[in-house]
């Protein structure tokens, strides 16, 4: 089989090999087993069911949660020369009739429907009269309360097995927790499913996490400016921050659009559309933004604050680099964010679970360690490499405190000396040896830890306290923000555990990092004619707009990069370039060749 599937992959998609677990998932579908496939965002889930749909008789029915995504997928398939359609509420009566006719005539290899639509009796009756190759439940984690996008309509999908007992169901998701997997199997009533759990790690993403200064606007603007002409998403926690940051960027001449649930529906739709269609490259958003975004060439994601959990972080950063090309993820965090989550989560009945998740993320932020390893570990996967080469820690951008145990002990014992009754600011003042009223009044100038860190700046001391909090050695009481030791904090005092503490970045180091980052980015573009690349991008946008489809539906960035490097001289030379299958070669070969000929002169 792998030969046939491989041939199809090259012929239609223009890909020469499978990504991890694609082949296994395809085989399981062709062999007629229920299947659960878990691959990270950008892992290439769609091909896993689209290729077998082509190889098997009948029509595959794909249940997908969002109408906008459905339409993009169908457009994408049509561009590849694969017959696909969807049913959704935005279609007119005539359009729906046409789809129905093509279905009845057995012309469609794939049919996309929303779960709501499938729940309509008429829809299932229609399907019962057809030859169905299999069902696909995409974004299957929506069925579970444990997932982060629970959707009530998904709960009813159990009817598929009841009413189509002879059809296999294949579930796809990017969410890795075992609770979610169990829910998917149970609620969809899958029978002895084959499960393929791909590596959650995204090697093409580079993670960097830095403490935020104030509102962090300058830091965010700096990142955005480092990515001229590249698509990016900036995530904020609050709507107000979105509005202000978006305005700030506009003021500095950087075109962008805001997106959050407080904007009128029409504005939101328009802004998302502008981003998806590549009319605008930057979107500033709350987490309300994302599910409907299929733009595969997002080159950077910035978190202007700590997201809700590691799952959220993984999903939000996962929107970067879906095309497999390098992309950067930046996060600017602060203990303030953790406090905000404490406040937000206080109302929830799942408060404890949510706060445990928030604390783990806080730890991820404040603990200098390999980010890729940490994320894999969180999802109970082993990370094989010693140095990932793609995070601030492994790239040597983080300098460590040489004697972290000693420093940690000094700070923790100061917290004990002030009887665990004071906040971080006061503790920092005592360590710094500031002789101010509040300190003298409590007699804290007489403590053995008074002035023990006299040489350091207060900012430095605050940063160390922050890291001890994030790593769970200290805790902050909710109401008065007083610091106290945790059990593991006491183990540091007795020398049984050692914190890992990062030094604040000094200016020279920052410059050096910027230099090295630039050099790395230079390597990425080596041998690629960037002028030609821009011209090819323009052509792609023109074709996409004329057709009313997102640009990636025509060609992905990687295809354009390969074209700008190889500069094929003829249609025949274009064969074998990544992402150019037979149909696309016929459709677009000439148009792009003309650009290459023109620019290469």
Pairwise CA distance, residues 228 & 208, whole Å: 19
Q: Name the E strands within 212-361.
A: 232-235, 257-259, 282-285, 300-303, 327-333
231 binds, among ligand ADP, Zn ion, none (CB under 5 to 8 A by kind): none
Query: Which one, 38 or 160, has the nearer CB to ligand ADP?
Result: 38
- Comparing CA positions, the residue from 63, 48, 40 lying closest to residue 15 is 48
Site for ligand ADP in 547-566 (CB under 6 A): 556
Q: Does 394 bind Zn ion (CB under 5 A)?
A: yes
The answer to whether 87 and 112 have CB atoms below 8 angstroms apart is yes
Per DSSP, helices labelled H in 388-527 are: 404-417, 424-432, 437-441, 458-470, 487-493, 507-524
Site for ligand ADP in 10-39 (CB under 6 A): 15, 18-19, 22, 39
Minimum separation from the CB atom of position 41 to ligand ADP (A): 4
Q: Does 444 bind ligand ADP (CB under 6 A)?
A: no
Q: Does 371 bind ligand ADP (CB under 6 A)?
A: no
Give 290-325 as a DSSP string. -TT---TT--EEEESS--S-HHHHHHHHTTTTTTSS
The answer to whether 503 and 513 have CB atoms below 8 angstroms apart is no
Candidate ranges 45-53, 182-190, 306-314, 443-451; the one touching ligand ADP (CB under 6 A):
45-53
Q: Does 284 bind Zn ion (CB under 5 A)?
A: no
- Comparing CA positions, the residue from 44, 327, 37 lying closest to residue 176 is 37
Bridge partners of 302, per DSSP, are 234, 330
45 binds, among Zn ion, ligand ADP, none (CB under 5 to 8 A by kind): ligand ADP
Name the DSSP class of 569.
S
370 binds, among ligand ADP, Zn ion, none (CB under 5 to 8 A by kind): Zn ion
Among 28, 41, 88, 363, binds ligand ADP (CB under 6 A): 41
Minimum separation from the CB atom of position 467 to Zn ion (A): 18
Q: Does 539 bind ligand ADP (CB under 6 A)?
A: no
Minimum separation from the CB atom of position 322 to ligand ADP (A): 5
388 binds, among Zn ion, ligand ADP, none (CB under 5 to 8 A by kind): Zn ion
- In which residue are the tokens 């046409």 written? 98
47 binds, among Zn ion, ligand ADP, none (CB under 5 to 8 A by kind): ligand ADP
Name the DSSP class of 247.
H
Minimum separation from the CB atom of position 393 to Zn ion (A): 5
Minimum separation from the CB atom of position 47 to ligand ADP (A): 4
Residues with Cβ < 8 Å from 385, sequence gap 6 or more?
372
Query: Which one, 224 or 298, has the nearer CB to ligand ADP?
Result: 298
- Binding letters toward ligand ADP, positions 277-316, x by CB under 6 A: -------------------x--------------------
CB atoms within 10 A of CB 322: 23
Site for Zn ion in 361-380 (CB under 5 A): 370, 372
Alpha carbon of 428 to those of 19, 371, 412, 423, 500: distances in Å? 51, 29, 11, 9, 19
46 binds, among ligand ADP, Zn ion, none (CB under 5 to 8 A by kind): ligand ADP
Q: Does 52 bind ligand ADP (CB under 6 A)?
A: no
Q: Does 215 bind ligand ADP (CB under 6 A)?
A: no
Minimum separation from the CB atom of position 175 to Zn ion (A): 23
Bridge partners of 305, per DSSP, are none
Among 75, 281, 323, 529, binds ligand ADP (CB under 6 A): 323
- Contacts with Zn ion by CB under 5 A: the residue count is 5
Q: Which residue is nearest to ligand ADP (CB)?
A: 44
Q: Does 206 bind ligand ADP (CB under 6 A)?
A: no
Site for ligand ADP in 344-363 (CB under 6 A): none
Give 493-539 as a DSSP string. HTTS-----BPPPPHHHHHHHHHHHHHHHHHHTTT--HHHHHHHHHH
Q: Does 44 bind ligand ADP (CB under 6 A)?
A: yes
Query: Which one, 372 or 539, has the nearer CB to Zn ion?
Result: 372
Candidate ranges 262-270, 283-291, 317-325, 500-508; the one touching ligand ADP (CB under 6 A):
317-325
Query: Which one, 19 or 509, has the nearer CB to ligand ADP?
Result: 19
Query: Which one, 391 or 549, has the nearer CB to Zn ion?
Result: 391
232 binds, among ligand ADP, Zn ion, none (CB under 5 to 8 A by kind): none
- In which residue are the tokens 């992959």 written? 9
Among 45, 109, 117, 170, binds ligand ADP (CB under 6 A): 45
- Contacts with ligand ADP by CB under 6 A: the residue count is 17
The answer to whether 298 and 232 have CB atoms below 8 angstroms apart is yes
39 binds, among Zn ion, ligand ADP, none (CB under 5 to 8 A by kind): ligand ADP
Q: Does 322 bind ligand ADP (CB under 6 A)?
A: yes
Query: Which one, 37 or 133, has the nearer CB to ligand ADP?
Result: 37
Q: Does 388 bind Zn ion (CB under 5 A)?
A: yes
Pairwise CA distance, residues 21 & 92, whole Å: 39
Q: Does 46 bind ligand ADP (CB under 6 A)?
A: yes
Q: Does 391 bind Zn ion (CB under 5 A)?
A: yes
First-to-last CA distance in the chain? 45
Pairwise CA distance, residues 100 & 95, whole Å: 9
Name the DSSP class of 395.
T
Q: Helix (H, G, I), strand (E, B), or coil: what is residue 568?
A: coil
Query: Which one, 323 or 429, has the nearer CB to ligand ADP?
Result: 323
Query: Which one, 19 or 458, has the nearer CB to ligand ADP?
Result: 19
Own/partner pairs, 146-151, CB within 8 angstroms, 24+ separation: 146/177, 146/179, 146/180, 146/183, 147/173, 147/175, 147/180, 147/183, 148/175, 148/309, 148/311, 148/312, 148/315, 149/65, 149/291, 151/65, 151/115
CB atoms within 10 A of CB 464: 25
Query: Which one, 22 or 363, has the nearer CB to ligand ADP?
Result: 22
CB atoms within 10 A of CB 567: 16
Q: Which residues bind ligand ADP (CB under 6 A)?
A: 15, 18-19, 22, 39, 41-47, 296, 322-324, 556
Q: Which residues bind Zn ion (CB under 5 A)?
A: 370, 372, 388, 391, 394
């Amino acid at each position: 089989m792998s030969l046939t599937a491989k041939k199809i992959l090259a012929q239609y998609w223009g890909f020469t090999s499978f990504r991890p677990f694609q082949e296994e998932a395809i085989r399981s579908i062709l062999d007629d087993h229920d299947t659960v496939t878990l691959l990270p965002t950008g892992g290439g889930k769609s091909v896993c069911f689209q290729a077998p749909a082509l190889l098997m008789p009948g029509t595959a029915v794909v249940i997908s949660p969002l109408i906008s995504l459905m339409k993009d997928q169908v457009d994408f398939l049509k561009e590849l020369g694969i017959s696909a359609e969807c049913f959704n509420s935005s279609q007119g009566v005539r359009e729906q009739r046409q789809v129905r006719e093509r279905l009845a005539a057995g012309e469609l290899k794939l049919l996309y429907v929303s779960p709501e639509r499938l729940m309509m009796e008429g829809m299932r009756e229609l399907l019962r009269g057809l030859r169905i190759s299999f069902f696909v439940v995409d974004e299957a984690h929506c069925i579970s309360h444990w997932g982060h996008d629970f959707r009530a309509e998904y709960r009813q999908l159990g009817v598929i097995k009841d009413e189509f007992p002879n059809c296999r169901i294949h579930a796809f998701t990017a969410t890795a927790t075992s609770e979610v997997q169990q829910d998917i199997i149970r609620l969809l009533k899958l029978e002895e499913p084959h499960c393929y759990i791909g590596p959650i790690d995204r090697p093409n993403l580079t993670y960097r996490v830095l403490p935020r200064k104030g509102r962090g606007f300058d830091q965010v603007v700096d990142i955005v400016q480092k990515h001229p002409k590249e698509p990016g998403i900036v995530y904020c926690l609050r709507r107000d921050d979105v509005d202000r940051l978006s305005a700030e960027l506009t003021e500095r001449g950087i075109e962008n659009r805001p997106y959050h649930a407080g904007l009128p529906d029409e504005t939101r739709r328009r802004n998302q559309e502008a981003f998806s269609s590549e009319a605008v490259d930057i979107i500033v958003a709350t987490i309300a933004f994302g599910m409907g975004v299929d733009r595969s060439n997002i080159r950077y994601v910035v978190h202007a604050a700590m997201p809700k959990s590691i799952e959220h972080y993984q999903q939000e950063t996962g929107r970067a680099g879906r095309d497999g090309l390098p992309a950067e993820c930046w996060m600017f965090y602060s203990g303030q964010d953790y406090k905000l989550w404490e406040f937000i989560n206080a109302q929830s009945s799942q408060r404890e679970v949510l706060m445990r998740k928030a604390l783990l993320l806080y730890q991820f932020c404040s603990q200098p360690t390999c980010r890729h390893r940490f994320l894999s570990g969180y999802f109970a996967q082993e990370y094989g490499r010693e140095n990932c080469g793609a995070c601030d820690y492994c790239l040597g951008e983080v300098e460590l405190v040489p004697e972290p145990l000693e420093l940690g002990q000094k700070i923790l014992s100061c917290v004990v000396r002030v009887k665990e009754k004071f906040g971080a600011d006061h503790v920092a003042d005592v360590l710094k040896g500031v002789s101010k009223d509040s300190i003298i009044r409590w007699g804290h100038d007489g403590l053995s830890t008074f002035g023990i860190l006299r040489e350091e700046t207060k900012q430095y001391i605050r940063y160390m306290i922050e890291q001890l909090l994030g790593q769970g050695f200290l805790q902050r009481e909710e109401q008065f923000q007083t610091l106290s030791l945790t059990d593991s904090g006491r183990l540091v005092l007795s020398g049984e555990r050692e914190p890992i503490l990062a030094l604040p970045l000094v200016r020279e180091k920052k410059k050096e990092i910027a230099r090295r980052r630039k050099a790395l980015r230079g390597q990425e573009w080596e041998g690629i004619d960037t002028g030609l690349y821009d011209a090819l991008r323009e052509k792609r946008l023109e074709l996409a707009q004329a057709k009313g489809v997102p640009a990636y539906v025509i060609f992905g960035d990687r295809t354009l990069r390969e074209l700008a490097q190889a500069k094929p001289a003829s249609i025949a030379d274009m064969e074998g370039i990544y992402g150019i299958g037979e149909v696309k070669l016929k459709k677009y070969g000439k148009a792009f060749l003309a650009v290459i000929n023109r620019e290469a002169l």
